[in-house]
Structure 1
Amino acid sequence: MKKVIEKYPAVLYYIFVLVISGVLIIPQNVLSNASYYSVSFPQLAPTLAVISICIITKNRDIWIKIKKSFSIAARNSKWVPVILGISITSVALTAGILSLLGFSYHPWEGSIAFYIVNIVAIIFGCMFEEIGWRGFLLPTLGTKYTPFISTLIVGFLWGFWHMSFNLGIFGFLIFIVSAMELSILMTWVYYKTDGNLLCTTIWHVSINTTNQFLLRGRLTAEGFTVLVAVLTVICLFVVIFNKELFLEKKTNFECDVI
């Protein structure tokens, strides 16, 4: 198993994620009220997959690199307002367009304790995802592909992993496109901050939290279509003005499992 992982780390990582997620669906279904508080047990899967790889390969360096990537660096603080500005603006624009199209607003109502529990759950859920998707998979793919190609692969696999079949076939596909676009923006932040996972986690949290406040009940197939349209414009600007970042391999971000 160790040799297989060392040869195909990205493939085995994703298989582990799918298998672990399938197991974690069981307590999620048993504790049905967990979703009310934004608790999603499958969100643990990306981190547990990385831990499994570390144990099997007996390579602690993988986890050490990931832990270091959550460091609070002063030079990265300037990216926080950029992250919040773009993520909140993209969701707000989507919400505004949907309102103009006649999609009614559904407020996220609850007590102060309700909001606190939900936001804490969102923070930890996003962190557990980022450890796997951006902490392990993105740099692993980066050893073979450019950041742009690696990002599209991560975005597709990330989107597919959500298994949003309740949106219908078209909705599921458009959701995957939205995940790929979000991945482009998160990769941009990842490389601009020297692989800082704290910044990508902040991005992830801001998107998920803003969605709850502004797009709750409106992220249908049509809702995701509008979101994709908004993100497309933002992604075009980011990619066009950062072509070198996306098209040149960044070997210094390798996540070597050997």
Structure 2
Amino acid sequence: MIAKEQHGAVKLLFNQLGYFGPALVAIILTLNLSTKSKAIKIKSYLPYVAVFAFILIFAVLYGETYYEMRKDILLLENPIIILLALITVVYFIYQFVENKGNSAIDKLVNLPKTSIIMYVLAAAIYPILKFLGVLLSIQLFPTQFELPVINLIAIIPLFLFSIIFYAAIGEEVGWRGYALRKLQQKYNPFVSTLFIAIVWSIWHIGYFVLVENYSSQQIPSVVIWTIIATFFSTWFFNKTNGNILVLILFHASVNFAIMFAPHPIIVFGLHLILLIVVLITGSFFKKIEFDYDKSE
């Protein structure tokens, strides 16, 4: 479709524009609808400028190679990518910590004090579950599955890469930093989550069909997973008082865990169990209010 006609740097930049669509919409809506009189300073935009600058540099230098090599090999053979990704992610976090939610734009990436356990849980729970699913698949279907080849040295670089390039920042700033926060000011978490799940599913369908060239047979699984992931994300959001960095780590971990592909039945079972746990422990039917919402 659209992306299929493009190559190299142009294709990569087009994909990233799609990934960052939710964040761009959130920024535009925030600028248009904010009732705060305090002027939004240029430093509020610097974290996004840094991310876009890195993406642009990477696209120009490695746009063609990106689609021709395994990502772990690409990163290990070009350590400058790892260094730039690390600097970009650290700066993104630092700048929002420094800004302290002073403007409506800064509040899109809320970073309240959060237990380190939640950061670790967000980054590790899904890859671990998918890996255990692969082990179970090997036991139950030994002729169909084998352990994936994992370059342990590339794990952290791949995760950093996932934060920037696989929608973790672009989507979470929009869907959770803006949409979920606004919806939960009026509705309980269940209604808010269901609304985002529907809109997010429609967005995914459009993006994956037009940009990623998905077939119609793949769409149902995309919709089902999007709905489930929306409830997981709301759980993390509400358990951490709206910490968007936790959500960014969780989103990155989901995309990072694509390397683990258990049997579909096992994937369904793991997701169902996790969804039940999330619904039971998440207080989805009680309206909540965060401290930073009171100032709006």
TM-score (norm 2): 0.60
Name the larger-Rg structure: 2
In the alignment, what sits opposite 2:224? 177
The answer to whether 1:52 aligns with 2:31 is no
In the alignment, what sits opposite 2:235? 188
| Unmatched 5+ stretches in structure 1 | 1-21
In the alignment, what sits opposite 2:290? 252
Q: Which of 248, 253, 261 lines up with 1:206 in the alignment?
A: 253
Deviation (angstroms), 1:202 = 1.0
Q: Which of 157, 160, 178 lines up with 2:199 in the alignment?
A: 157
Counterparts of 2:148 and 2:5, CA distance in 1: 24
In the alignment, what sits opposite 2:183? 141
The aligned amino acid for 1:241 is T
1:121-145 residue CA offsets vs partner (Å, 9 max, x unmatched): 4212301211001101111221332
Deviation (angstroms), 1:172 = 1.1
Mapping of 1:226-237 within 5 angstroms? 226-237=266-277
Residue 177 to residue 121, structure 1, CA distance change in 2 (3 Å): same
| Unmatched 5+ stretches in structure 2 | 41-102
The aligned amino acid for 1:151 is T
1:79-100 residue CA offsets vs partner (Å, 9 max, x unmatched): 1232244212322234335544
Alignment check: 8 A CA contact 2:179 2:196 kept? yes
Mapping of 1:32-51 within 5 angstroms? 40-51=16-27
Residue 170 to residue 189, structure 1, CA distance change in 2 (3 Å): same
Aligned length, in residue pairs: 218
Deviation (angstroms), 1:154 = 1.5
Residue 182 to residue 28, structure 1, CA distance change in 2 (3 Å): farther
The aligned amino acid for 1:31 is G
Residue 30 to residue 52, structure 1, CA distance change in 2 (3 Å): farther
In the alignment, what sits opposite 1:70? 111
Residue 46 to residue 91, structure 1, CA distance change in 2 (3 Å): same
Counterparts of 1:136 and 1:249, CA distance in 2: 17
Residue 27 to residue 145, structure 1, CA distance change in 2 (3 Å): farther
Counterparts of 1:255 and 1:96, CA distance in 2: 44
Alignment check: 8 A CA contact 1:98 1:226 kept? yes
Deviation (angstroms), 1:48 = 0.7
- Name the Cα RMSD after superposition: 3.7
In the alignment, what sits opposite 1:123? 163
Mapping of 1:76-87 within 5 angstroms? 76-87=115-126
1:142-182 residue CA offsets vs partner (Å, 9 max, x unmatched): 13321012112222322332224555445312221111112
In the alignment, what sits opposite 1:7? none
Residue 98 to residue 158, structure 1, CA distance change in 2 (3 Å): farther
Counterparts of 2:291 and 2:5, CA distance in 1: 34
Question: Secondary structure of the equivalent of 2:242?
Answer: coil
Q: Which of 127, 138, 149 lines up with 1:88 in the alignment?
A: 127
TM-score (norm 1): 0.68
Residue 133 to residue 232, structure 1, CA distance change in 2 (3 Å): same
Counterparts of 2:168 and 2:224, CA distance in 1: 19
